[in-house]
Each structure stands twice: as C-alpha cells, then as structure tokens.
A and B are shown apart, each in its own frame.
Chain A
C-alpha cells in the first residue's frame, strides 16, 4: 500500500496496538488521556507519518494515515481519534506553513517530540470552523493570542497547538488565521473538567489560551483559513473521523464474530438462525457502505494532486456525506450488535466485547462537528447543484 521505496509503516503498529488495547478500559473508566499509547506512538515514529523523509519523517500518505487510524480505533477509538486529528494538523502544517516554521517544527514532529492538538472551538460559535471572534493582535514581529476554547482534545498533554484566530485587521468573522504555538509559548489554564458519555480517553477539556508567538508561526496567509479548510483541514477531518468510527464498529463486529465462533459459544447459539444471519448481514452492510464512501472520498481528496477543485459542490457534498453517513451507520451497526448479543455480552460494562464502550464512543460521532450544522451547509450546496452531478 505504501509508496515504492517508502518504509512499510504497518510494521510499526503492533507495539502501539498492544499498548492501546491494554489501557483502553482503564482510560475510559477514569476519563483520562491515554499517555501510554501516545508514548508508544512517539516511539514508533508514527507521529511523523505525514512528514517527508527530507524532514526526518516517514513520508507516508493519507491512505496510510487512514489505515493506521482504523487499526488503532479497533482497539480504542479515543487513541484513533487522537492520532487522526494529530495527522490532520501535521498535514496542514506540511502544506501551508512557511519554510522557517516547517524547518524547525517538522523534524521535531518526526522525532516524536511534538503531538499537536487542534483549537478551533470558541464559546458562542460552538464548533463552527470558519469563523472566529478572537482577534490576533500583533506588531508585525509578534502575534498575541488570547482566547477561550471550550473543547481541546488532548489539550493538557499536547506539545503544540494549531489555533484558529480572527486575522489581524479582519473586517468580518470569516477572515480566520491559523497559528502554531509550542506549549511553552503559551499560558494555558484548564478551566473545567471532562466527564462525558463516551470518547472519555480523549480528555477534551476547556482551556484559556494566552501567549505570544513570532509572526512566522502563522500557517498559511492571514485570513485564509477557509481555503486551507476546503483543501486539507476539513476533508482530512471527515475522512479521519469516519475511518475511526468505522474502525471502532469493525473492531466491535470482529470481537463479536470471534466469540460466536468459539467452540463453547457455538454450542449455545444457533448460527443458522435467520434472525442472527439477517442481523449480521445488516451490520456488515452498514460498514461496507461506510467503507465504500471513505474510499471514494479519499480518491477525490488525493485527486487534488492532479488539479481537481475540492470546492465544487458535488465534491463538498461527497466529503460531507462521508462524515454524516459514517456517524449514523457506525453507531447503528454497534447498536444492532448490542441487540444481537443481548444483555450479558452487549450491555454489561465488563464484557470482553466492549460493545457498551464502543456504543458510548460512537454516540459522539453526530455531535463531533454537529450533523445538524453540516446538513444546513449541505442543503445550500444541494441548491447550488441543480444538475445534481456526482463527484
């Protein structure tokens, strides 16, 4: 799967997968960040997956990013999301940061020293990605940041942050800049706790962020976040999240199937039952639908290299459909697995199938950039495409 000559990144995975598996139940129980899995990711070099070999990274592809997110999420969806979102940040730095920032930051990421968290939420606007109410101040040499962020995944553990801010001298909330800041360049205050239904190990806390960074730490041109979002940030978010959700549901189905096939279990259950077969088929159908959409979305995403325009409504609609469909179908698949396996294996917290945790984790999918908001955008995009072209 990897580019000819590039190292096969999948050989780096087993250690990380084992650590993620080992701590999945406990980090969920305690709602704490999976530091052991992050350390394993640091050691593996996978934090630098999307950094080029020239900067010391693995020179991996978006496809490899998704493959690894899938495998991690089968063990622990929080770890998968942490990895996928880090890669999304790195891809944005690789594509848009200036030479100075790239030369200093990318080798550190490749060495596993920098895990990057994303700061895009603001009070009052929720997860609305393309606006900001927090102006960047500055004197040309320095940029001053001062903002609240209600949800920062891994905020207490990240080594660096990519932060959306209102561009200096902006005329409207839509002129958003993206700024990179090292942890030690910021005064960070955690202003609340984290005790959610699921995704508990992402430790996504509210933070107050204040600091000054050199002007060269702006990523892309000031006020141009929208373009970065259309081309890289949003597509990789949707593809990455959807892959984590699919991985979590696929892991749940796989654990269930292995249990059904154990000799002792086979005696307890009629595997030729029409109800059981129909349910399994429906679950698998949901996952294959999501997989096909992700594959197609990935092909469209990578076709940018040949000059394809990702801002065209049919492409935007497809990439949004990846997110919307995955968030609904993966949850529905695991819900159906709970129905199929029943109270003991499906609903109890201590069950080795961990369907209960997976179901709670997947309940976040529709809220992780709210589907309601995405449908509003899709409605407008649909009106734009009266011919109804498909990407």
Chain B
C-alpha cells in the first residue's frame, strides 16, 4: 500500500487517533467509514488514481481493510481499468 493511498484514506477514518498511521490491516468500518462516506471515498479514489472500480468489486470485502481496498485499486490500475 503506497503512502499516498494512506493519506487519501486518512480523512475518512475519523476514529483513527491523530498522529497514528493508517495500517494495511486497519478495518475501515471500525475506524468510522460508513456507507455514505464509502461512496465519497470511492469518488476520491477514482479521481486520484484515474481508475474505475467495477461494480462487482463494490462489496463489504473490498471495503474491509485499507489493504483490501488498495489491492482492488492497484489491480484495476494494472488491468487498465482507467476511466
């Protein structure tokens, strides 16, 4: 997971104590990501990485941890899922 991705996630995790880094196994729901924010985060990712996550990836598993979300983004980048 690259640093830039952790920085992007940071504002959506309002229960992650200030100064603590976003770890790959950070559970996003536990740290404050709800369904409304999930869609905002998705738009943010798509803008920042110029990728589109396919609908079938938009489930609880993808949004479970920082790493699972990062892997989804990274795989789409590699497979050329650019918007």
A313 touches B58 (CB 8 A): yes
Shortest C-beta distance, B38 to chain A (Å), equals 7
Could you give, for residues 33-59 of chain B, a 1 whenever the CB lies within 8 Å of some chain A CB and a 0 otherwise?
Answer: 011101100100000000000011011
Classify chain A's interface size: 20 to 34
Binds B, one of A206-214, A287-295, A375-383: A375-383
Closest to B16 in A: A171
Closest to A315 in B: B59
Shortest C-beta distance, B51 to chain A (Å), equals 14
Judged by a CB distance under 8 angstroms, whether A157 is at the interface is no
A residues near B16, Cβ cutoff 8 Å:
171
Whether A380 contacts B60 in the complex (CB less than 8 A), given A387-B55, A389-B55, comes out as no
B residues near A230, Cβ cutoff 8 Å:
60
Judged by a CB distance under 8 angstroms, whether A57 is at the interface is no
B60 touches A384 (CB 8 A): no
Closest to B55 in A: A387
Shortest C-beta distance, A317 to chain B (Å), equals 12
Closest to A227 in B: B60
CA separation between A133 and B12, bound complex, in Å? 20
A residues near B15, Cβ cutoff 8 Å:
171-172
Q: Which residues of A in the span 288-315 have a Cβ within 8 Å of any Cβ on B?
A: 309, 311-313
A380 touches B39 (CB 8 A): yes
Whether A381 contacts B29 in the complex (CB less than 8 A), given A230-B60, A311-B60, A387-B55, comes out as no
Could you give, for residues 359-391 of chain A, a 1 whenever the CB lies within 8 Å of some chain B CB and a 0 otherwise?
Answer: 000000000000000001100110111110100
B residues near A381, Cβ cutoff 8 Å:
35
B34 touches A311 (CB 8 A): no
Could you give, for residues 4-22 of chain A, a 1 whenever the CB lies within 8 Å of some chain B CB and a 0 otherwise?
Answer: 0000000000000000000
CA separation between A351 and B16, bound complex, in Å? 59
A174 touches B34 (CB 8 A): yes
CA separation between A312 and B59, bound complex, in Å? 5
From B32, B42, B60, give the contact of A174 (CB < 8 A). B32
A residues near B6, Cβ cutoff 8 Å:
none
Could you give, for residues 164-200 of chain A, a 1 whenever the CB lies within 8 Å of some chain B CB and a 0 otherwise?
Answer: 0000001110110000000000000000000000000
Which of B14, B38, B42, B55 has the most A CB atoms < 10 Å from its CB? B55
Closest to A309 in B: B59
CA separation between A381 and B16, bound complex, in Å? 25
A380 touches B35 (CB 8 A): yes
CA separation between A171 and B33, bound complex, in Å? 12
Residues of A within 8 A of B (CB): 170-172, 174-175, 223, 226-227, 230, 309, 311-313, 376-377, 380-381, 383-387, 389
Q: Could you list 11 further interchain pairs (A-B, Cβ under 8 angstroms) beyond the known A311-B60, A381-B35? A: A171-B15, A172-B14, A172-B15, A172-B30, A174-B29, A174-B32, A223-B30, A311-B59, A377-B35, A385-B55, A387-B55
